[in-house]
Amino acid sequence: MEQGLKGLGEHIAQATSGAVTAVEVRLGELMLQTTPDRLIALLTFLRDDPKCLFRQLVDLCGVDWPQREKRFDVVYNLLSLKNNQRIRVKVATDETTPVPSVATVFSSAGWFERETYDLYGVWFSDHPD
């Protein structure tokens, strides 16, 4: 199983031309890191690529690492019902740098982004609300 996840991670990294900055398999889940400027392209690829089909945003949340310069991680947990797989995407930011809203990719993101802003103060550019 872990080898299959690593293969999927390599496929995604190669197909998205630098959108993935790190690939890791931990506790049976594939985790990708990206940057704010490549987030929309990566999530759109994960939703639409036939090998991925991560069409459901299960959760979006924030994690605070006060000792880091970019102290926040915004974490996107996606599900592919067709492939029975989950994936986690992380993007790091600080108190003043906005992360692009992904509400145009996953309509459920709007509520999660508002909650992350309310709890952590993470800004989302182009948020519909």
pLDDT tens track for 3-57? 788 899 999 999 999 999 999 999 889 999 999 999 999 999 999 999 999 999 9
Average pLDDT over residues 74-87: 96
With a threshold of 0.85, does the pTM exceed it? yes
For the chain, percent helix, then strand, then coil, each to nearest 5? 30, 35, 35
Angle between helices 2-15 and 39-48 (to 10 degrees): 120
